[in-house]
Amino acid sequence: MITGASSGISKYAAKGAIDNKGLVVAVSPRSGSQDKSKFTIDESNSSAVIYTGMGYKGRNVITTRSADVVVVINGGFGTLNEVAIAEGENKNIITLIGTGGCADMLPEIFKRINPKYRKFSKVKNIQELKKIINGLRL
């Protein structure tokens, strides 16, 4: 799993991956482990950390371009930025609707802006999410 080392949803997803013996690579907006700048991040549930020194938006480019699938759960403008990058890179995007934030808005956004984008899926639960991910040819 690749994550932006954020607090919140990605923190809990990373913890779940680590607890299940998964590999988690955190892409940090910081310039190094001693950089205690304004970034609210959590690197504690990571197998490895890549320090970009590029801030949140720069980190989003690296994280998204490195992923095969972008899973959206809740999210704000940063998540929306990652979705825009993923769409531009022709990545698989899956949104878990019912979780709030931009996750719930994405079906309408894709309907209005790019209704022909075939790599966008919406799911209602984790079982549907697993089914789609397992069916992808990565």
pLDDT values of the chain reduced to their tens digit, one per residue, 138 residues = 999 988 888 899 999 999 999 999 999 999 988 887 788 888 889 999 999 999 999 999 999 999 999 999 999 999 999 999 999 999 999 999 999 999 999 999 999 999 999 999 999 999 999 999 999 977
Task: Give all domains of the chain, ordered by start, each with its CATH number.
Answer: 1-66 (no CATH), 68-138 (3.40.50.450)
* Distance separating alpha carbons of residues 104 and 124, to the nearest angstrom: 10
Strand 25-28 and strand 48-51: pairing?
parallel
Predicted TM-score (pTM) of the model is 0.92
Contact 126, 134 (CB under 8 A): no
